[in-house]
Structure 1
């Protein structure tokens, strides 16, 4: 009986690990065949800046969040239920997520306009990437090596997401 319990526990752990690995989104990067490292970095920075500075004040998600924040002052100190309603009305989580999607969409449009294509890293490429510190020169160079390789781009490219 002990052995059966141990096998069930091992099976449960294995299945949950496999499910969690399957649930992970693939890592998508962007590339352009033959692009130099200097151009790759300059265009990445340009597109990031263009996306980060794009006005979103005309977006419904911004207007909803702003309205909720403005209404907050009149709803404070009314008790727990009223405070819960206030937080619910602001709905910041959903609105912030929508605004992030809007801004990322602008970065992606900029990259597409400059001839870049999205591609998915293989499991081994992702493991190698995970060993490199975010923001490090080595990480930039690693992604550039993948993203400038025409063979990798043709074999691993994916359609851009509709935003």
Structure 2
């Protein structure tokens, strides 16, 4: 895998987590009543693959590399990048927002095609969600539980 592919893959994963969990605003999420957690996570992985093939993200590599402030090793670099992102608790910035902008349409198409619909989060749900870090199992379980309940 090339340096560019590794870097963009990390950015895409983070952006998709945000897009799939809170698109189009932080007041909404996606759900499918009655879905099992296994199917929910499988659909997330399938939609990631769909977006990678249907909406390839374009960012200047120099922006990605300077943002990371680390050397990218093409051999095993993905694990190092995940560790770096976790350690630095990377925040949404211009590059992350651009990845999200480019990927959102494909994410929404994929989710809708699998029977998911948007639903509004209550104020209490939004507040609890804010306390759960993006990409963590606790956040994934919380959003699955909300989305799997009939509204």
Match of 1:111 in 2: 111
1:49 and 2:21 matched:
no
Normalised to the residue count of structure 2, the TM-score between the two structures is: 0.52
Q: CA deviation digits over 1:49-103, x for unaligned, max 9? A: 211332559xxxx7xx99xxxxxxxxxxxxxxxxxxxxxxxxxx7xx84x74342
Aligned length: 93
- Considering Cα pairs closer than 8 Å and 6+ residues apart, tell me whether 1 or 2 has the greater RCO: 2
Normalised to the residue count of structure 1, the TM-score between the two structures is: 0.49
| Structure 1 residue runs without a partner (length 5+) | 1-24, 67-92, 152-163
The structure with more helix, counted as a fraction of residues:
1
Q: Output aligned runs, 1:1-163, within 5 Å.
A: 25-56=25-56, 97=98, 100-151=100-151
Root-mean-square deviation (CA, aligned residues, Å) is 2.7
Gap change, CA 1:56 and 1:130, over 3 Å in 2: closer
The structure with the larger Rg is 1
| Structure 2 residue runs without a partner (length 5+) | 1-24, 61-93
